Amino acid sequence: MEDVVSTTVSGMTCMSCVGRVEEALNSLNGAYNIDVKLESGNVSFQGVSLEKAEQAIVSLGYSIGVPGELNNIKDDFNWRDRSVWKQSAHNTKWCLVGCSIGDFGTIAAFQFIPYLDALGWHDMSIMFLAMFNGIMTSIALETFILIKQMGGIREAFRVAIGMSLISMIAMESSMNATDLLIMGSPTLTWWVIPIMLLVGFLTPWPYNYWRLKKYGISCH
């Protein structure tokens, strides 16, 4: 029996990434017993050389090495990696979807439900509640998406709460600040929502790029 060969891959952010790496290794003639771990980045296999396997993985846009050790040299970091911009945009998009559900839902509730409006909540109180609910729905959505992939709700929730809180707070703050500046109060209209979404996407995107590029850690 051939020895088990292993390496560490940086840049995998979800189970889809795991599937891509597995598919690339399976396409190599003779490869078998392939095992890809998302959290640790560890990849093991038999039947092919380490060099061939790493070439196949790198061709997908991932890096070889322990996350967090790939960019110890300051000059290694740059803002010109299109693949990382694309991946971080995808991650930011999903975070925006989850955050918007709770955020917009809260604002709409106080806007259209007379009972809640009659409570006389201050605008800033509504904004903070909207931000909190947005973060909660983002975690809930991520948990739901990961249940099948992670093999159960407990593991899915554990991964979901590991999302970047900084990214979500920046997103929520910018969306609600935009709404307040334009409308003067927590109010949703058909034309302010796209502006809020755009600002909410652009604000944390550079941070998410930096986090993924420098440390190999996804926001979502």
Tens-digit pLDDT profile for residues 5-44? 899 988 777 777 788 889 889 989 889 999 998 888 899 9
Return the closest-CA partner of residue 128 out of 165, 183, 167, 169: 169
Residue 94: the pLDDT is 87
Tally of CB atoms within 10 A around 123 = 16
Q: How far apart are CA 108 and CA 55, in angstroms?
A: 51
> Residue 76 gets which letter from DSSP?
G
pLDDT tens sequence across 144-185: 877 776 667 887 787 677 667 889 999 999 999 999 999 999
**CA angle (23 as vertex; 89, 60 as ends), nearest 5:** 40
Q: Domains plus CATH for the chain? A: 5-70 (3.30.70.100), 76-215 (no CATH)
Alpha helical stretches, state H, 81-152: 82-112, 114-117, 123-150
**CA angle (75 as vertex; 217, 87 as ends), nearest 5:** 30
* Total-model pTM: 0.69
pLDDT tens sequence across 176-203: 999 999 999 999 999 999 999 999 999 9
Residue 58: the pLDDT is 80
pLDDT tens sequence across 86-128: 878 988 998 999 999 999 999 999 999 998 888 889 999 999 9
Q: For the chain, how long is the longest CA-to-CA vector? A: 74
Contacts 24+ apart (CB under 8 A), 122-125: 123/180, 123/185, 123/186
